[in-house]
Structure 1
Amino acid sequence: MRLQCEVEVLSRHLPVLGLKSRGKGVRAVVSLCQPPRRSELQPGAGAEPGSRACLLVSTRKDKQGTRYELKENVEQLFMKFVDEGKATIRLKEPPVDICLSKANSGSLKSFLSALRLAHRGCDVSIPLSTPTPVKTSEFEKFKTKMVITSKKDYPLSTNFPYSLEHLQASHCRLARLDMRILCLKNLRKLDLSHNCIKKLPATVGDLTHLRELSLSDNLLESFPVSLCQSTLQKSLQSLDLSKNKLKALPVQFCQLRELTHLNLNDNELIQFPFKIGQLTNLRFLAAARNKLTILPCSFKTLSLEYLDLFRNTFEKPGVLPIIKLQVPLTLLESSARAVLSNRVPYGPHIIPFHLCGDLDTAKTCVCGRFCLESFIQGTTTINLHSVAHTVVLVDNMDRMEAPIIAYFCSLTCYVNFSDMLK
């Protein structure tokens, strides 16, 4: 029984001697073996039941491997992160911790179950191999990067190496996302650009370590809300959706708060999500050659290093404001303002689901307060250098300004800040 993973063997004597470990694992093949008895050391002879099982750790530099006895020699198993392909085997003699990482979680669980039986001296139901040197081909399966740039090179009959961290499958004419890709739990970078993908499955959110996702030059018409509410909220840092057919992004898109790079060039976007200001880590934003007519109010809270809004259909600020004031305020409006102003936690387990939606879509007044359905809406212009260090010209007229929505929660605010609309 063999397991491909990364291994770091730590001696528990190092801290006593004032030494530190290297802190980095190496590619290895960990085998659960059963040495044959002397009477059976003949060609073709296998391991005899009842002989002691051992653990064999083989690396590319040491293909013979290092052998560790298992019977009554496992002090403790650390399996808290086994679903992430990580575990630690603590041995009594020698006093070492064998740290396993980047393993297939299912294979790792089976391996540890068999190892526990071997420690107890029980018969292991899974056939155990004899301790033989590992072939170089075994390590070649442990790939972390794969680049496919044509349809003929795309694997159809074989699976992707589960250890992949970077996968590029471009120009392969993929019409949908290959479900085998969604089993690659170690993926950190996924490039599916230049394909024909029209829809993303919600299970993309199960790639818990995904940091970079490129879907440039596909046929996407929408971005799923489910992905915005998945584990991608904590991991995704770079997203390329350029050259698609996106007309809008959901409000929940702004929950991807770890995003630093966002490319939306060459789509059909009519507007940004109105809470785009919540992307506080965003530093690179490109949305050239879309159909943006106006920027949302929260756009002015962004702090960017690079901004490109070239060739959008920005309109001139409207002269007359849109007045939707309610006097007196409704109970819903007053309650919503109080909840938001005092940052009272809310959720569908506390209040009705539709009320959560109303609170999520509340508008922010220029004074900093909130408003739901009672407001005055106007438009003004914003100098894009106020939100970004480097700005690409909006058009060929050397303009650096764009129209932006402004909200006023009351007539008093409108009077006090009406100079903004001039």
Structure 2
Amino acid sequence: MKLQCDVEVVNRMLPSFGMKSRGKGLRAVVSIGKHVDKTTQRSNIYMMICTAKDRAGSKYKLRDNIEKFFTWFVEEGKATVRLKEPAVDICLSRADAHSLKNFLSAARLADRGSDASSLPLSTLTPVRARDVEQPKRKLAIVSRKDYPFTSNFPYSLEQLQVSYCKLSLVDMRMLSLKALRKLDLSNNHIKKLPATIGDLGCLAELVLHNNHLETFSEALCLSTLQKTLQHLDLSQNRLQSLPAQFCQLRGLSNLKLDDNKLVCLPFHIGRLSKLRFLSAAHNQLTLLPEDFRKLSLENLDLFGNPFPQANSLDHVLQLKFPLPLQELASRAVVNLRIPYGPHLIPAHLCRELEVTKSCTCGRICISYFVRTAVSMNLHQVSHTVVLVDDMGGTNAPVQQHFCSLTCYSQFLDNCLQKGLR
């Protein structure tokens, strides 16, 4: 039984001499195996710890010699084995959780004096230098000739950059790197992202700058990325829209969408409550969603979009008289905060209720409304604003919905009165 992990051996007698332990583990291979004591010629089971400085290893007897196991954080790859003689604590960390559990089980059996034939024992021999090297945390590949076509990526990677390698697909080997926190695939030819990127449970930063992406899948928006993803760079791609589910990525604090073909931003973008940096320059945006008003940003860049001058008299009338029963019922469900879900009503009605529009009167409309655009100074939602155009403006048109002609008329009257003042 062998385990690769970080190890710190803490002598419990040090505090009595006014001394402290070093407090930092070394990369090591920890083995459990049989060893013959040259003095007594008796065979016993030992734990051997080999590090880069001590590849021959230090041995510790296990039978009737373990005082206690500390396993509160075993799921995080951490545990401590307290020995009676010598009085040391063997602190294990950065281990694979499953392997660590098996190792501790074997140590426990050895302590109880179980039959050696029932234990997964290893040969207690010196290790190779590469076995005790510190695991690689970062890797940058910026040339196709350096790409590992025949070897795997180090399993311990936390940051991986693969750029200028002409990749048209995401290498599935990258998706087995469970410790990955940053994945940079910029400057490639990737057209589509696999949904399994969402299985990278630690991924906080995803950089896809300058690729050929045409879509961003709904599956990614509903994956574990909802909680982990903080930085997303989709600039210089071919995106025309983002799915409504995109706003489920509620951990986002930095979003880059520059130089795409976006004609609109996600309807519920205001749900990205942690978003602080938004850049969507040089797209095809003509109107911002109504939910845009809910953002609270530090920096906003919408330069180079063809925003027209907002005119509240220009409107889209999407009303029926009288309103259909489904619209009335849907409005009542939302306005009265009646619980709903696919177990109560059809799924397509649930989807409609997810894209409700707010009227100036405070009520909700769903599929029937009057829509116009109003001018908004972007400083209302961001501390710093890059100029929207070459004329020095910081205003942009934002959607405004009205649940009835009455509300729309009152809005126009208010605009007229303000204009007269």
Q: Do the two structures share a fold, i.e. TM-score over 0.5? A: yes
Please give the alpha-carbon distance, in whole angstroms, between the structure 2 residues aligned to 1:404 and 1:252: 21
Q: 2:35 touches 2:44 (CA, 8 Å); kept in 1?
A: no
For structure 1, the residue ranges without an aligned partner over 5 or more in a row are 42-47
**What's the counterpart of residue 323 of structure 1?**
317
Give 3-state SS (helix, strand or coil) of 1:34's partner: strand
Please give the alpha-carbon distance, in whole angstroms, between the structure 1 residues aligned to 2:209 and 2:411: 42
**What's the counterpart of residue 45 of structure 1?**
none
The aligned runs of 1:231-270 (5 Å cut-off) are 231-270=224-263
Please give the alpha-carbon distance, in whole angstroms, between the structure 2 residues aligned to 1:288 and 1:403: 15
Among candidates 280, 284, 296, match of residue 291 of structure 1: 284
404-413 or 235-244, which moves further after superposition?
Answer: 404-413
**What's the counterpart of residue 77 of structure 2?**
86
Give 3-state SS (helix, strand or coil) of 1:220's partner: coil
Correspondence 1:34 to 2:67: no
Distance 1:213 1:7, change over 3 A: farther
Q: Deviations over 1:25-50 (max 9, x none)?
A: 63422422324214699xxxxxx9x9
Q: Name the amino acid aligned to 1:314.
A: F
Q: Name the amino acid aligned to 2:232.
A: L
Q: Deviations over 1:233-266 (max 9, x none)?
A: 1111000111111110001000101101101111
**What's the counterpart of residue 54 of structure 1?**
46
The two structures, once aligned, show a CA RMSD in angstroms of 3.4
Q: 1:26 touches 1:59 (CA, 8 Å); kept in 2?
A: no
What displacement does 1:338 show? 3.8
What displacement does 1:98 show? 2.9
The aligned runs of 1:189-228 (5 Å cut-off) are 189-228=182-221
What displacement does 1:117 show? 4.4
The aligned runs of 1:79-158 (5 Å cut-off) are 82=75, 86-91=77-82, 93=84, 94=87, 96=89, 98-101=91-94, 103-105=95-97, 107-108=99-100, 110-112=102-104, 114-120=106-112, 121-122=114-115, 123=117, 126-132=120-126, 134-140=127-133, 142-158=135-151
Correspondence 1:356 to 2:356: no
What displacement does 1:334 show? 3.7
111-120 or 185-194, which moves further after superposition?
Answer: 111-120
Give 3-state SS (helix, strand or coil) of 2:35's partner: coil
**What's the counterpart of residue 405 of structure 2?**
411
The aligned runs of 1:174-185 (5 Å cut-off) are 174-185=167-178
What displacement does 1:162 show? 1.0
Q: 2:33 touches 2:121 (CA, 8 Å); kept in 1?
A: no
Give 3-state SS (helix, strand or coil) of 1:172's partner: coil
Q: Deviations over 1:249-301 (max 9, x none)?
A: 00100010110110111111111001111111111111111111111001111
Q: 2:109 touches 2:119 (CA, 8 Å); kept in 1?
A: no
Q: Name the amino acid aligned to 1:374.
A: Y
What displacement does 1:202 show? 0.9
- TM-score using structure 1 length: 0.85
**What's the counterpart of residue 370 of structure 1?**
364
Q: Name the amino acid aligned to 1:360.
A: E
Distance 1:164 1:328, change over 3 A: same
- Report the count of equivalent residues: 410
Q: 2:70 touches 2:80 (CA, 8 Å); kept in 1?
A: yes
Among candidates 265, 268, 281, match of residue 272 of structure 1: 265
What displacement does 1:154 show? 1.0
Q: Name the amino acid aligned to 1:359.
A: L
Please give the alpha-carbon distance, in whole angstroms, between the structure 2 residues aligned to 1:261 and 1:295: 18
Please give the alpha-carbon distance, in whole angstroms, between the structure 1 residues aligned to 2:14 and 2:288: 58
What displacement does 1:57 show? 4.0
Q: Deviations over 1:290-345 (max 9, x none)?
A: 11111100111111111111111223335332222345544433443344345555
Please give the alpha-carbon distance, in whole angstroms, between the structure 2 residues aligned to 1:243 and 1:160: 27
Q: Deviations over 1:51-109 (max 9, x none)?
A: 44333344456656554444453744637763xx52424446347473423x3455445
For structure 2, the residue ranges without an aligned partner over 5 or more in a row are none
Q: Name the amino acid aligned to 1:100.
A: S
13-22 or 281-290, which moves further after superposition?
Answer: 13-22
The structure that has the greater radius of gyration is 2
Distance 1:92 1:174, change over 3 A: same
